[in-house]
């Protein structure tokens, strides 16, 4: 254990916050939190910069605050992370490393990985030496994650992987990926899956960028052609990958909504990801005194405040056991709906200025229309909002599960693709 970790063991939250305040002022780059620096997630320099910042946090003893000390963290309670989040908002943070590298993948490895995986991969991510990503969705899979058809076949002492993944967030910048594959086709779909930790520079992997309607190329698709993996790549147990995936989705749903304790700092990555300032927008477009516009802006603002309170409430309740782990889906769903409401409200107030470049002082409002093109990403990440509602109804409220025609059916007997 480092001297810094020893000192934090007896440090109050207030003392920790004061030490963080002093360290941040001396070591990190100040920013305007209302206009954060723009990090293009589709470009490698943004990731290089984030890793440099992460290394700086690690050297100062402020990286991985809630991860155990034996895996490179500080072993602190969530209250310390919340205090650090408040102090660091005025400084440049390695925010793009949070999702999925730290808050999803490293957290999942902490829960389900081998001791070697924890010591090697988690510590490397906390130090800023490596980036982790998810390899879950498939071209024909939709929202049915358990229906993956990427296969890993046992040959001698190796697993041979063939198949494809898609919509992998920032995979081009990652060093390792958590990949779900089918290892037994003779049992029901949830029972024949295995999670693997895949080095992305391995022979047998071809990666391509996906270009979205707004021009972004952050997401990737991967093709596996005879990829060889050893048993050391297995996360959890063979044919028990659904348990690992379920835990991974738990962390993703919390992270997407902003409720993870494993983040390195807090704040908006870019100005376009900040919640819209509906009041200023109304005033700039000459509608500041319009009661209907004021009502729209007020509704969005109230929703934003409730979301922040929900994150704190659900996060605390999961931590003390009064809510089950699946309750993180509440944060995920409310975040998606709030984001859509905020963007829709901004476009409604902006009117034609949000979709047509009218020049002059309102030319920058066109960004609202561009943001509208990706408004639904929050409703897809971590599973669709429809899936989130199923999780809430069935696993939190205890409602009966909806009928599934393939329940209990060996996967090699399940009809797929209309066949």
pLDDT digits (tens, 9 = 90+) for 193-224: 999 999 999 999 999 999 988 788 999 999 99
Q: Under a CB-based contact definition with an 8 Å cutoff, are residues 311 and 258 in contact? A: yes
Q: What is the pLDDT of residues 134-167, one digit of tens each?
A: 999 999 877 788 999 999 999 999 999 999 999 9
pLDDT higher than 70, residue 343? yes
**How buried is 321 (Cβ within 10 angstroms: 0-12 exposed, 13-18 middle, 19+ buried)?**
exposed
Q: What distance lies between CA 148 and its chain's CA centroid? A: 21
CA 411 – CA 398 distance, rounded (Å): 27
Alpha-carbon distance of 264 to 75, in angstroms, equals: 14
Q: Ranked by mean pLDDT, which of 157-171, 311-325, 354-368 comes out on top? A: 157-171
Strand-strand pairing, 151-155 and 158-169:
antiparallel
Spatial distance between the Cα atoms of 326 and 382, rounded to a whole number of angstroms: 12
Burial of 366 (0-12, 13-18, 19+ CB in 10 A): middle
Which pTM does this prediction carry?
0.84
> What pLDDT is recorded for position 391?
87
pLDDT in the model for residue 219? 94
The Cα 381–Cα 122 span in angstroms is 23
Burial readout 168-199 (b: 16 or more C-beta within 10 A, e: otherwise):
bbbbbbbbbbbbbbbbbeebbbbbbbbbbbbe
Given pLDDT bands bounded at 50, 70 and 90, which one contains residue 186? very high
In the chain, what is the straight-line distance between the N-terminal and C-terminal CA atoms, in Å?
58
Question: Would you tell me which CATH number, out of the four given (2.60.40.180, 2.40.110.10, 2.40.30.10, 1.10.3720.10), belongs to the domain 134-245?
Answer: 2.40.110.10
Q: Provide CATH 1.20.140.10 ranges for the chain.
A: 275-396
Question: Going by DSSP bridges, is the β-strand pair 176-182/219-229 parallel, antiparallel, or unpaired?
Answer: unpaired
Q: Would the pLDDT of 2 be above 50?
A: no
pLDDT of 418: 53
| Sequence-separated contacts (24+) of 191-194 with Cβ below 8 Å | 191/239, 191/242, 192/239, 192/411, 193/146, 193/148, 193/239, 193/240, 193/241, 193/242, 193/245, 194/152, 194/234, 194/236, 194/237, 194/238, 194/239, 194/240, 194/241
In angstroms, rounded to a whole number, what is the distance separating the alpha carbons of residues 398 and 395? 6
Residue 319 vs residue 238, higher pLDDT = 238
The CATH 2.40.110.10 domain(s) of the chain lie at 134-245
pLDDT (0 to 100) of residue 252: 87
Q: If you average pLDDT over residues 118-141, what whole number do you get? A: 96
Length in residues, the chain: 419
Range list for CATH 1.10.540.10 in the chain: 3-130
- What per-residue confidence (pLDDT) applies to 380? 77
Please report which confidence band the pLDDT of residue 273 belongs to, taking 50, 70 and 90 as the band edges. Answer: low
Give the residue-averaged pLDDT of 24-45: 92
CATH number 1.10.10.10 is the correct assignment for the domain at 275-396: no
Token pair 């052609």 in the structure block, residue: 225
Q: Is the pLDDT at 123 greater than 70, yes or no?
A: yes
What is the per-residue pLDDT across 372-411, written as a single tens digit (0 to 9) for each?
Answer: 888 887 787 767 888 889 989 998 999 998 888 888 899 9
| CATH architecture, domain defined by 3-130 | Orthogonal Bundle (1.10)
Residue labelled with tokens 């081998």: 114
Residue 69 has pLDDT above 90, yes or no: yes
Average pLDDT, stretch 56-62? 98
Average pLDDT of the chain is 91
The whole-angstrom separation of Cα 253 and Cα 311 is 11
Please state the three-class secondary structure of 263-308 as a single string.
CCCCCCCCHHHCCCCHHHHHHHCCCCCCHHHHHHHHHHHHHHHHHH
208: left (phi over 0), alpha (psi -120 to 50) or beta: beta
């Amino acid at each position: 254990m480092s001297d810094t970790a020893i000192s934090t063991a007896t440090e109050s939250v207030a003392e920790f916050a004061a030490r963080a305040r002093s360290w941040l002022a001396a070591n990190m780059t100040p920013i305007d939190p209302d206009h954060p620096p723009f990090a293009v997630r589709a470009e490698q320099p943004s990731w290089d910069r984030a890793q440099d910042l992460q290394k700086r946090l690690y050297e100062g003893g402020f990286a991985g605050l809630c991860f155990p000390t034996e895996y490179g963290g500080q072993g602190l309670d969530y209250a310390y992370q919340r205090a650090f989040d408040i102090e660091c908002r005025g400084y440049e943070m390695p925010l793009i490393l949070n999702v999925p590298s730290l808050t999803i993948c490293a957290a999942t490895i902490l829960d389900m990985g081998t001791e070697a995986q924890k010591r090697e991969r988690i510590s490397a991510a906390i130090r800023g030496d490596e980036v982790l990503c998810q390899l879950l969705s498939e071209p024909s899979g939709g929202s049915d994650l358990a229906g993956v058809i990427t296969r890993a076949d046992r040959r001698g002492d190796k697993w041979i992987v063939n198949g494809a993944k898609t919509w992998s967030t920032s995979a081009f910048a990652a060093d390792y990926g958590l990949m779900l594959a089918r290892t037994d086709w003779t049992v029901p779909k949830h029972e024949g899956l295995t999670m693997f930790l895949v080095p992305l520079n391995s022979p047998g992997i071809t990666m391509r960028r996906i270009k979205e309607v707004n021009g972004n190329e952050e997401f990737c698709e991967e093709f596996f052609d005879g990829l060889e993996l050893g048993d050391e790549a297995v996360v959890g147990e063979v044919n028990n990958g659904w348990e690992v995936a379920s835990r991974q989705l738990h962390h993703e749903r919390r992270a997407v909504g902003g409720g993870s304790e494993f983040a390195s700092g807090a704040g908006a990555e870019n100005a376009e990801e900040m919640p819209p300032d509906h009041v200023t927008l109304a005033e700039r477009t000459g509608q500041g005194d319009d009661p209907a516009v004021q009502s729209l802006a007020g509704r969005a603002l109230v929703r934003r405040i409730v979301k922040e309170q929900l994150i704190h409430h659900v996060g605390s309740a999961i931590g003390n056991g009064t809510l089950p782990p699946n309750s993180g889906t509440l944060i995920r769903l409310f975040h998606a709906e709030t984001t859509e409401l905020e963007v829709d409200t901004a476009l409604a107030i902006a009117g034609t200025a949000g979709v047509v470049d009218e020049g002059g002082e309102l030319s920058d409002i066109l960004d609202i229309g561009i943001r509208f093109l990706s408004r639904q990403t929050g409703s897809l990440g971590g599973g669709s909002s429809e899936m989130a509602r199923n999780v809430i109804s069935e696993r939190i409220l205890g409602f009966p599960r909806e009928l599934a025609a393939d329940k209990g059916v060996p996967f090699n007997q399940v009809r797929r693709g209309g066949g």
